[in-house]
Structures are given as structure tokens and as C-alpha cells.
Amino acid sequence: MNNDVQRWKDKYLASLEQQEVLERRWDARVDLLRRGLVRSSLAAEGADKAVDQCMQDLREILRRDDMDAGLAGLIPRLEKAVLDSEQRRQQRVAQVSSALVALVDQLLELDLPREVRRPLKDYAKQLDSRAEQVRELPLLLAELSTLQQQALAVLGHEQVERPSLLQRLFAGRAVTASDLPAASEFVPVPASLSVAQQMPLQSALMPSTVASLPAPVSARPVVEPTLVAASQAEPSAVHAPASTLLASRLDSLPLPAGLLPPAAQAQETGPADKPPEADPEFALPSPPEPGYSAIASHVEATLLGLLDELALPERHQDQADLLRERILAGLNLYELVPVLEDLAVLMLAIADVGQREFEGYLKQLNERLATFQGGLQDAHDGYADSVNAARELDSELRQQVDGLHSSVQQATDLPSLKELVENRLDGLLGTMEQYQRQRDEREQLVAGRLQTLVERVANMEQEAKGFRQHLEEQRQKALLDPLTGLPNRAAWNERLDLELARWQRYGGELLMAVIDIDHFKRINDEYGHLAGDKVLKIIAGELHKRLRKTDFIARFGGEEFALLIPANPLAGGLQLLETLRAGIEACPFHFRGERVTITLSAGISAFVSGERSEQVFERADQALYRAKRGGRNCVEAG
């Protein structure tokens, strides 16, 4: 008894010690979390006032011992503040992007040489995608400043070489190169601003130039009489915008065709040849808009449509109604995850209903099989009864014949013998009639049972055939990749075992290749996951239609494909992979009318006697890595 007490006491003390260790560990973790949240809140400040206030409140709550209630009240307010801040950030990014686009458009409207116009066009094409990222804005401004300096340097050089054009523009006096601002000091101002808004902006952008501007036209002496006459003849030209004057002066000058504006070049050279229309089958879809707010309505509509189409059991209908109300009330990014989890519960409930229906069918099938077995047992019992009835008839007939024989021997006169024989014969006939009647009844009963069994067997065979067909269809679906339609990893393993057994039995050649799409992550990042999915579908179709019927290709995972090539030497396999590589490279992928080149790399290896399939795959995979390191878009043998 004392040993038991001591043992329980030691166990209790050990549990207390373990509990203290766990409490110290959890205290240390809570302290680390507090410090991490405080540092994160300090790092997040400066982006939005509402978020800054929430970060300050968060630090105050973390300093208290009881922070559960404070965090429970702060988290919803922080979620709303973060979502509002994200919307305002997207609006600011859109405004900055619009302003940059307006500046680039103004520069493109100028008559610039090709070597200056081409970088501007490239910059304009990248502007929409890069402006969405805040970290790219300083680089965009720096690049725009450099391009603007190049453009204005070209324009300034042309203005120095052709002073008469500037004199016509200003229509007041001869303008020299010293009056022009330096190209690095000049920044174009958007034309959408009013004059009152342009002046302070101009003075802020180039103060030295504004300070050194010459006096107004009315206060300056006239240098060239011809220009004075021109200004008097066209008084409206003095007050016209500079862009209009520039366009009118450029139209009046005999410029070379390379320096004409685009519209003038079109008039001089005629309509340009239209580029060939891109194949819509190879067009990459536009990437989705960033941020949850841009797709919130679509997500909510999709979830509601899915809820409406679900065939839910009655006991889950209330849960579905509550989930529908939550979706109709509007979801943010943080509420989307629990809603999807609840929807997953409903989907599992439907799967459970299907499982129960299948169990019910199996139970019904067991009952029908039991009934079928009972019918067979009844038929067997009927047959046994017939056999027993035949035996009884035989026994009774023997007894009656024996009685007749004894009566004949014991008869003393003819009349009594005649009466005795007739009685015995009547008994025999009655017995035979009764047996025949009972036999007919049993045969009818057995025939009905057999007919029922035949019908049941036919129905069960038909149902079994339908189930076998359905199971085979489900099996085939389970072996296909739902995105590309190619066989999946499970189908690959099954076919690999079959081809390996065939090769080991009959010999010959068997090759294994591993194919990977180059820079597939960049496709997803630049064009969106929808574009990546379409690329996988198209490439899978292109690879499949270029293979023989005996070849087998499967999607091994992600952007990687595996290929089995039987009855083909290594040189033929390399030639086949090179054909596949060239075919994919020639696919006319395009995004918004622009050509997108997509390539693949591949590694191939041959099966060697005594090797396992894993070893062959490892060699082909290493060959693929060599192709990747060798510059991609090539094939290597291992």
C-alpha cells in the first residue's frame, strides 16, 4: 500500500513539474508573439491613418495582461481598416498610373525619331502592369525622367537648328538657344490642368527656367518685320495653344517622311498593312484584377449559385440558409476562409448522403440476394417434396398391390373376389389421381418460383452490368488529369508496370522522357493562373497529337510531363523530343495581340536490363536538369 501511495505521489509531482515547464514555454511563446506583433505594428505604420490608429491600439492591448477581450474587439475594426486602406491604395495607384499614362501620351504626340519613340512605346506597354506594384513607382518615375530628357534633348536640338520655326511659334522676336531651357530642366505639364494649376506646377518643376523667362511679347521690340506682319495677319494665332501652333507650323514645313507625324505618314504612304490576326485558340486570357475587392461580387455570385445547385438533405438546410445569408450580407477577404470551410462541410454532408445511399443500395442488394437464396431454397424444398411424394406413392401402391394379392388368395367364391378386386382398383385409381393432382400443384408452384428467380437474375445481371460500366467510367476518370485531359500519375504508374513487364518479357527498346515547361512560374505571375492553365491545356494537346499510338504521355505534376516510348532507339527518341520541342516553340501563343514565346526542356533515358524504373527516371530527370542549366529550350540524353 505504501508503494502505491509513493508511486502516485511521484507521478503527481512529475506531472506538476511537466505542467510548469509547459507554462514557462507558453509564456515565452506569448512573449515572442507580443514582441513580434509590436514590431510588425511599428513597421506597418505610415500607410494609412486608420490602420495606424489600429496599430497603436494593438500595442496598448498587448501591454495588458488580459488582452483577449481587447483583441476580440480590435480585430474586426482592423479588418475593415485594412480593406478600406487597400481600396484607397488601389485608387492612388490608379491615379498615379493615369497621370503617368497621360505624360507618356503627351510625349508620344510629339514628333520624335524612332530611336526615342520606341523606348517610349515599350515603357507605355509595361506601365499598366508595373504601376500596380508600389515598389515599381520610383523606378517608373526614374525611367520616365530619362526618356523625357532624351525626347526634350532631341526637340531642343531641332529648335536650335531651326530658329525660324520657333520665331513663328512665338511670333514676337528672334529666339536664341540661350532663351531655351535645358533638357534636364524641362518637365511637361499635363494639358488637362488649367492655366492656374499649370503655373505653380511649372514653377515647381523648373524654377530656374521660369525665373529666366523673357518679358511678354508686348514689351519686347520687334526684330523681324516679316514675323510682325505674320502676327498681325493672324491675330488668333497668338492666343492659340502651343500644341496647335506647333502642329500647324509642322504641317507647313517640308519635313522628310521619317519625321512626319503618324497621321501624315499614313497619308503619304497609304494604309499600312494590317498584321495577321492572332489565332484565338492560342490567346492567353487576361490576368485577373489584383485584390479581393475586384472579384468579391463574382466570388459571392459563384458561391450562391453553388449553394442553389446543391441537393442538400433536410437536416442541413438550415445551415445552408445561414451560409446564404452570410454571403448575401457581403464578404471580405478574412470572412472568405470560414465561409469556404462551412461550404466544405456541406459538400462533405452531400458526399456522406451519397455514401449512405450507396450503403442503402448494398443493403437492398443483400435483401434481394437473400430473397433469391430463399427462392432457391423453396425450389429445392419443392423438389425434395416431389421426391418424397413419389416415394410415398410407390410405398402405398406396393401396399395396395400386396393387399390385392392377399385378398385374391383368400377369396372363396367369384363374386366376392370380383367385389374385392374392384374395391382395390378404385383405391389404386384414387391414389393415383390424388398424387397427380398434388404433383401438378407442386410443378405450378415450382414453375412460378423459377420464373420469378429467372426474372430477378436477369434484372440483377442488367444492374450489375450497369454498375460495372459505371465503375469502369469512374476508374477511367480517376486515371485522367482534369485540366489537361492526359493520364495522371496513377495512370502513369499502371502503364509503366505494364510496359516494363512487356519489355522484360519480349526485349527490344524502351525509353523514358521527362518534359518540363520553361519559366512556367513567370507565365503565372505575368499573365495569371488562367493563362497558365490554358498554356498547359494547349501544350498537352500539342504533345499528344504528335505522338504515336503506342507512345504514352502523362501529366506527372505541375508543368512536368512524363513520356514512355517503346520500340524506338535512343536516337529516334531524341529526334521525337526535338520535334515536340520545336512544335511547342512554334505555337502562336499571344497575349493582347503580342507574341508570347513558350518553350520546353526535356531529358530522355533508355531502360537497361537489371535496372528499376526509378533509376531510369532519375537519369532522365538529371538530363532534364542539365537541359535547364544549359539554357533551356533543348533536349538532353541521360
- Tens digits of per-residue pLDDT, 433-458? 888 888 888 888 888 878 888 888 88
Tens digit of each residue's pLDDT (9 = 90 or more) over 62-92 = 777 777 777 778 888 888 888 888 888 878 8
* 617 in Cβ contact with 492 (< 8 Å): no
Is the model's pLDDT at 180 over the cut of 60? no
Mean of pLDDT values over 82-106: 82
Alpha-carbon distance 258 to 235, whole Å? 32
Pairing type for strands 552-557 and 510-517 reads unpaired
Note if 136 is an active site residue. Answer: no
**601: three-class secondary structure by DSSP:** strand
pLDDT of residue 109: 80
**What mean pLDDT do residues 576-594 have?**
92
* pLDDT on residue 233: 38
Q: What is the mean pLDDT of residues 382-398?
A: 77
Beta bridge partners of 636: 603
- The pLDDT of residue 82 is 82
Residue 534: per-residue pLDDT? 92
| pLDDT score of 238 more than 50 | no
Local structure of 560: helix, strand or coil: strand
DSSP 8-state assignment for residue 454: H
- Given a cut of 80, is residue 253 above it in pLDDT? no
Q: Are 366 and 350 in contact (CB under 8 A)?
A: no
Please tell me the least confidently modeled range out of 102-111, 502-511, 569-578, 604-613: 102-111
pTM recorded for the entire structure: 0.40
Look at residue 14 in the predicted model and tell me its pLDDT: 85
Calculate the average pLDDT of the chain. 75
Q: Is the pLDDT of residue 500 over 90?
A: yes
The whole-number pLDDT of residue 545 equals: 92
Query: Which of the pair, 131 or 225, is modelled with greater confidence?
Result: 131
What is the Cα–Cα distance from 443 to 437, expressed in whole angstroms? 10
Whole-number Å distance between alpha carbons of 323 and 214:
72
Is 502 or 112 the better-scoring residue by pLDDT? 502
Among 559, 560, 614, 618, the one annotated catalytic: 559
Element (H, E) at 430: helix 414-478
**Position 147 pLDDT exceeds 80:** yes
Mean pLDDT of 241-262: 45
pLDDT tens figures, 188-200: 444 444 444 444 4
Name the band, by pLDDT with cuts 50, 70 and 90, for residue 294.
Answer: low
C-alpha cell at 511: 525509353
The pLDDT > 90 percentage for the chain reads 20
pLDDT digits (tens, 9 = 90+) for 15-57: 888 888 888 888 788 878 878 887 787 777 777 788 888 888 8
